[in-house]
């Protein structure tokens, strides 16, 4: 796991909270479903991008480098797309480092 981008957003107009974008070399949610024997018939993992990873945003465990991690999004193959998705979820603008 690698943290690719880190940012902060304003909660309640007074508290800065972290968010980050991480890359994983597997489909996190597929792996979770597989481990819990919850895969649908014929379900396959989201294909990795050309760099062999998927990107995820994290609010709850932002900054945590321990693996396994727990992302707050599905996997995205394009970095800009996951950053846009994180912004859509945040209640205020994210300032990326």
- Confidence band of 15 (pLDDT split at 50, 70, 90): very high
| pLDDT digits 0-9 by tens, 47-70 | 999 999 999 999 998 988 887 789
Residue 14 pLDDT = 92
In the chain, the largest separation of any two C-alpha atoms, in whole Å, equals 47
Residue 34 neighbours by CB under 8 Å, 6+ apart: none
Q: How crowded is residue 20: how many other Cβ atoms within 10 Å of its Cβ? A: 23
State the total domains in the chain: 1
Residue 80 pLDDT = 97
Q: Which domain holds residue 35?
A: 2-96
CA distances from 28 to 25, 43, 73 (A): 9, 14, 10
């Amino acid at each position: 796991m690698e943290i690719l981008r880190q940012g902060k957003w304003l909660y309640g107009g007074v508290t800065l909270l972290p968010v980050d974008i991480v890359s994983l070399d597997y489909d996190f949610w597929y792996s979770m479903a597989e481990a819990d024997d919850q895969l649908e018939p014929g379900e396959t993992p989201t294909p990795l991008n050309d760099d062999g990873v998927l990107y995820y945003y994290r609010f709850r465990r932002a900054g945590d480098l321990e693996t396994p991690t727990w992302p707050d999004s599905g996997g995205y193959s394009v970095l800009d797309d996951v950053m846009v998705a994180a912004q859509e979820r945040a209640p205020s603008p994210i300032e990326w480092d």
